[in-house]
Amino acid sequence: MSSYPNLLAPLDLGFTTLKNRVLMGSMHTNLEETGDWNRVAEFYATRARGGVALMVTGGMAPNREGGVFPGAAGLFTEQDIANHRMITDRVHDAGGKIAMQILHAGRYAYSPDCVGPSAVKSPISPFAPKELDEEGIEKQIADIVTAAVRAREAGYDGVEVMGSEGYFINQFIVSHTNKREDRWGGSYENRIRLPIEIVRRVREAVGPDFILIYRLSMIDLIPNGSTHDEVVQLAQEVEKAGATIINTGIGWHEARIPTIATSVPRAAFAWVTKKLMGKVGIPVITSNRINTPEVAEDVLETGCADMVSMARPFLADPDFVNKAAAGQGHLIAPCIACNQACLDHTFQGKVSTCLVNPRACYETEIPSDKVATAKTVAVVGAGPAGLSAAITAAERGHDVTVFDAADQLGGQLNMAKQVPGKEEFYGLVDWFAAAADAAGVTLALGKHVWVEDLKGFDEVIVATGVTPRDPEIPGQDGANVLSYIDVLAQKAEVGDRVAVIGAGGIGFDVSEYLVTGESPTESLPDWMREWGVSDPAEDRSGLAETGPQPDAAERSVTLLQRKAEKPGKRLGKTTGWIHRAALMMKGVDMRAGVNYESITAEGLHVSYGDAREKPELIECDTVVLCAGQVSNRALADALEAEGITAHVIGGADVAAELDAKRAINQGVRLAAEL
Ligand code: FAD
Ligand code: NAP
Ligand code: SF4
């Protein structure tokens, strides 16, 4: 019997059957906006071949005013329908099923023409919506119905009506954004008229044998959101109106509680969906931070839902389901929930991809074909750059050996995984080991290599990473000064009062490590208490009346940078606020615009601004240097001096703005060309 009997069980919807319990949730990848429909079709077909039962496309606008941004994709013309036919044909040929999401952004539309129930501006948008009149509301409903009809014409198996995450429909449901006094506002019955009418009229228009998913906000996490009873009432009405499946939405985009970031515990919100089980007769899907077949199976086995939705895990590995079914769960490339290459790209207007899998959305661009002639390839450095190159090259048929001076693979990822809230990096390092083994890579760990060791290989790849930058601060040789490597890798003793020099990604991570005791990511009740999440049956909207209740900080930390800008400004677009909020909850003192004058036994002496004013001693027991990094090019330079051509990738190539995303991307792309 399979290890995942619940996950792999079919689901009979009456007029059609889903082959397993896995839905690929909607992701806005910006692929449609490229206009390259072969590329879009290949993205979905690749995932259909990977075994997922049903996919939902990125949100398609029902009309111009409802687009997330001006020019957002939708089914407006005959040509649009023909383009989408390419997707549905290719998915069906691959044995898959696909539904189109209809997304009306309402006041979240990045446009001065945005509309909503009332003229209440969102904190995450510069534009206040125009309040719709009766005619305007009818037009929005009609446009959504038309979009569903066109989706059917384009060959989709169904549609998902986006009713959560604070978009248009959700804005009607809660009094926070709906201030109307007509039949669309006021009482709860009036406020849920819009979703019910939409589902009813879509069902009428598309007929009975078409999947209609309604994405329901189960826990709004904003002031004056819905109570649990109200959520159940809406779910029951949506079922009566003709929905086939209810999918889960967690939190509005403007909520100040993380819902999908890596520090959110796995399956953190499955309990919310479980509360709906048995209250409706149609299948219920749960979602958020489900990223392994074990977690998904557990969620189903414990009755939290009938199906699971995973979105980003299908960027990381399109073959998730097939690998699970084949007993190769350890070979599933894990989504570490970093958002670095998916959501961060989406919000920067770039095409999404995946830190772990740069082929995501680039399926037509990065080949994975076998080579005609195998070469011997030496890779120096088993960090993410070297390992990605090695695995890709070996999968293509090359004979690859990876050397690393350390006795474990993973490079700097082994420090990242020590940080509370970044436990997913353990899984990433484990996957690198499993994938390297499966690809037949020879690992030579504990071996510092030099030029002589590399003679005789057809290709040499130098992925020797980085070394810490020397900030040249007088007194930095003192016994009270440590580097981030001392702290995270060597576990050096750190005092109670700490000054952290450098507020980049590593400075923030080290501060988090120093102030946190037990990681709340490892304990759902602790995490909920820390962020102030509660049961919406007890506290409206799931916001605890007590507010966030973080544990006291383990140490007193001052985090400093020379730039005068807000510390953390350059962290991830969609996750930086979480890192800043987490440190603020622990009372970390963040200082910008400092000059480091010296370090003495008393602490760190700083001044401020170009004029070096306001000299101050920051009293502390330990100073930790997180002042950035420089390339470790010693081997690359020595090879060059000997006339040996080598490919230099990752941090060894360029240290500035290096991260695992760039390191892996460079490694995979190089090996795809070898
Ligand atoms: P490295 O990971 O540095 O690997 C280089 C390897 O080469 C090392 O294992 C080293 O032992 C080996 N080596 C060097 N010289 C030799 C030699 N002569 N012979 C044999 N072996 C040699 N990035 C993100 O994208 N997201 C994050 O959230 C994130 N968090 C981080 C948190 C921390 C605390 C740290 C320290 C880093 C974090 N990073 C993060 C950065 C990321 O880990 C690095 O960008 C990435 O590891 C660089 O990859 P690389 O392969 O170029 O080098
Ligand atoms: P970084 O982000 O470039 O930050 C370096 C910090 O050191 C900055 O705050 C910088 O600020 C300071 N600095 C630079 N030169 C200095 C000098 N001479 N003296 C004193 N301070 C100096 O680098 P990092 O923190 O080392 O991180 C390395 C890479 O890992 C980054 O590119 C980052 O993207 C990645 N990473 C990512 C994450 C993530 O969550 N995505 C987490 C950790 C690491 P001032 O110049 O203003 O002082
Ligand atoms: Fe997951 Fe990060 Fe890849 Fe996005 S970029 S899919 S969050 S691993």
- Ligand 3 near 245 CB (within 6 A): no
Catalytic, 108? Answer no
Q: How far is the CA of 383 from the centre of ligand 1 (A)?
A: 5
More confident residue, 557 or 347: 557
Ligand nearest to the CA of 291: 3
Name which residue sits closest to atom 36 of ligand 2, judged by CA.
505
- Mean pLDDT over 660-666 rounds to 98
CATH no. of 376-465+630-673: 3.40.50.720
Q: What is the mean pLDDT of the chain?
A: 97
- 586 confidence band (pLDDT: 50, 70, 90): very high
Q: How far is the CA of 271 from the centre of ligand 2 (A)?
A: 38
How do residues 504-562 score in pLDDT, each as one tens digit? 999 999 999 999 999 999 999 999 999 999 999 999 999 999 999 999 999 999 999 99
- Ligand 3 near 244 CB (within 6 A): no
Let me know: does 154 contact 99? Beta carbons within 8 Å. no
Sheet holding 589-591, edge to edge: 481-483, 622-625, 497-501, 556-560, 589-591
How far apart are alpha carbons 512 and 535 in whole angstroms? 27
How far apart are alpha carbons 214 and 285 in whole angstroms? 10
Name which residue sits closest to atom 2 of ligand 3, judged by CA.
338
Of the candidates 409, 462, 455, the one whose C-alpha atom is nearest the C-alpha of residue 432 is 409
- Ligand 3 near 304 CB (within 6 A): no
Let me know: does 415 contact 489? Beta carbons within 8 Å. yes
- Ligand 3 near 24 CB (within 6 A): no
Q: How far is the CA of 545 from the centre of ligand 3 (A)?
A: 33
- Ligand 1 near 626 CB (within 6 A): no
How far apart are alpha carbons 391 and 25 in whole angstroms? 28
More confident residue, 34 or 379: 379
Of 342, 344, 413, 574, the residue with max ligand 3 atoms within 8 A of its CB, to mutate for a pocket test, comes to 342
Inter-CA distances, 511 with 201, 323, 582, Å: 53, 38, 10
Q: How far is the CA of 262 from the centre of ligand 3 (A)?
A: 9
292 pLDDT exceeds 70? yes
Please give the distance of CA 9 from its chain centroid, rounded to a whole number. 27
Q: Which atom of ligand 2 is nearest to the CA of 473?
A: 19
pTM > 0.75: yes or no: yes
Residue with tokens 């010296």: 598
Asked if 11-347 and 481-516+553-627 have one fold, the answer is no
- 1 confidence band (pLDDT: 50, 70, 90): low
- Ligand 1 near 344 CB (within 6 A): no
Ligand nearest to the CA of 626: 2
- Mean pLDDT over 344-368 rounds to 95
Report the pLDDT value the prediction gives residue 147, as an integer from 0 to 100.
Answer: 98
- Ligand 3 near 332 CB (within 6 A): no
Quick one: what percent of the chain has pLDDT higher than 70?
100
- Ligand 3 near 428 CB (within 6 A): no
Of the candidates 46, 145, 143, 140, the one whose C-alpha atom is nearest the C-alpha of residue 98 is 46
- Ligand 3 near 312 CB (within 6 A): yes
Name which residue sits closest to atom 34 of ligand 2, judged by CA.
659
- Ligand 3 near 355 CB (within 6 A): yes
Measured in degrees and rounded to the nearest 5, phi and psi for residue 433 equal -65, -45
- Ligand 1 near 384 CB (within 6 A): yes
Ligand nearest to the CA of 573: 2
Ligand nearest to the CA of 488: 1
DSSP secondary structure, 296-320, as one string:
HHHHHHTTS-SEEEESTHHHH-TTH
How do residues 86-122 score in pLDDT, each as one tens digit? 999 999 999 999 999 999 999 999 999 999 999 999 9
User: Which residue out of 108, 156, 167, 484 is catalytically annotated?
Assistant: 167
Residues contacting 481, CB < 8 A, separation 6+: 475, 599, 622, 623, 624, 625
Q: How far is the CA of 663 from the centre of ligand 1 (A)?
A: 9
Q: Which atom of ligand 1 is nearest to the CA of 387?
A: 51
How far apart are alpha carbons 531 and 549 in whole angstroms? 7
202 pLDDT exceeds 90? yes
- 53 confidence band (pLDDT: 50, 70, 90): very high
Of the candidates 627, 604, 606, 623, the one whose C-alpha atom is nearest the C-alpha of residue 498 is 623
Name which residue sits closest to atom 45 of ligand 1, judged by CA.
659
Q: How far is the CA of 473 from the centre of ligand 2 (A)?
A: 16
Name which residue sits closest to atom 47 of ligand 1, judged by CA.
412
- Ligand 3 near 340 CB (within 6 A): yes
CA angle 246, 250, 255 (to 5 degrees): 150
Ligand nearest to the CA of 471: 2
- Mean pLDDT over 299-303 rounds to 98
The class of domain 481-516+553-627 in CATH terms is alpha beta
Q: How far is the CA of 122 from the centre of ligand 2 (A)?
A: 32
- Ligand 1 near 386 CB (within 6 A): yes
Q: Where are the chain's structural domains?
A: 11-347, 376-465+630-673, 481-516+553-627
Q: How far is the CA of 81 from the centre of ligand 3 (A)?
A: 30
Inter-CA distances, 446 with 451, 454, 457, Å: 17, 16, 20
Q: How far is the CA of 587 from the centre of ligand 1 (A)?
A: 30
- Ligand 3 near 354 CB (within 6 A): yes
How do residues 62-77 score in pLDDT, each as one tens digit? 999 999 999 899 999 9
Q: How far is the CA of 352 from the centre of ligand 3 (A)?
A: 9
- Ligand 1 near 238 CB (within 6 A): no
Q: How far is the CA of 316 from the centre of ligand 3 (A)?
A: 6
How do residues 444-489 score in pLDDT, each as one tens digit? 999 999 999 999 999 999 999 999 999 999 999 999 999 999 999 9
Q: Tokens at residue 429, please?
A: 């390092």
Report the pLDDT value the prediction gives residue 445, as an integer from 0 to 100.
Answer: 98
CATH no. of 11-347: 3.20.20.70
Name which residue sits closest to atom 15 of ligand 1, judged by CA.
464
239 pLDDT exceeds 70? yes
367 pLDDT exceeds 90? no
How far apart are alpha carbons 46 and 657 in whole angstroms? 31
Of the candidates 406, 444, 457, 423, the one whose C-alpha atom is nearest the C-alpha of residue 632 is 406
Ligand nearest to the CA of 264: 3
Report the pLDDT value the prediction gives residue 368, as an integer from 0 to 100.
Answer: 85
Which residues sit opposite 162 in a β-bridge?
Answer: 215
- Mean pLDDT over 216-221 rounds to 98
Report the pLDDT value the prediction gives residue 33, as an integer from 0 to 100.
Answer: 87
C-alpha count within 13 angstroms, C-beta hemisphere, residue 328: 15
Name which residue sits closest to atom 26 of ligand 2, judged by CA.
628
